[in-house]
């Protein structure tokens, strides 16, 4: 199945891609949906990551994510890197659309570090 995966708890796909064909995308809103979607449908051809996936993540300062119940988009990226390593898969095209600048950079740098390690 060829599909694109959009991870965001609040935004809809058309808020980022106003003219896209929605039939190309699967929208997931949290870590469990993200993992289950990939396990069920296989690797997407593209992933859009949000970082903050629950109201508890929308705090100012430097939050301690370990105390939160809901996992972040960064944890989704970490799971996907491990999934790629364990299954000898290429990491798909991706974009990080999070409004959280620190979270956005954490996701991007984690993925890019992994990709560089595979060269």
Domain boundaries of the chain, sorted by first residue = 4-117
Nearest to 94 by CA among 52, 109, 72, 19: 109
Query: What is the biggest distance separating any 2 CA atoms in the chain, rounded to whole angstroms?
Result: 41
**Cα(73)–Cα(79) distance, integer angstroms:** 10
Per-residue burial over 21-32, b = 16 or more CB atoms within 10 Å of its CB, e = otherwise = eeeebbbbbbbe
69 vs 56: CA distance, rounded Å: 8
Any idea which fold 4-117 has? Rossmann fold (3.40.50)
Q: What is the pLDDT of residues 33-64, one digit of tens each?
A: 999 999 999 999 999 999 989 765 555 444 55
> Which residue, chain included where needed, has tokens 């960064």?
74
- Token duo for residue 115: 């990709």
pLDDT in tens, 77-111: 999 999 999 999 999 999 999 998 999 999 999 99
């Amino acid at each position: 199945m060829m599909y694109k995966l959009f991870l965001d708890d609040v935004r809809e796909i058309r808020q980022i891609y106003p003219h896209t064909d929605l039939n190309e995308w699967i929208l997931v809103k949290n870590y469990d949906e993200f993992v289950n979607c990939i396990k069920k449908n296989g690797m997407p051809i593209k992933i859009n990551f949000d970082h903050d996936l629950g109201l508890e993540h929308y705090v100012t300062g430097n939050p301690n994510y370990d105390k939160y119940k809901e996992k972040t988009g960064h944890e989704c990226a970490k799971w996907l890197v491990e999934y790629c390593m364990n299954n000898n898969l290429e990491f798909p095209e991706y974009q990080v659309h999070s409004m959280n600048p620190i979270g956005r950079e954490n996701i991007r740098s984690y993925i890019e570090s992994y990709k560089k390690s595979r060269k």
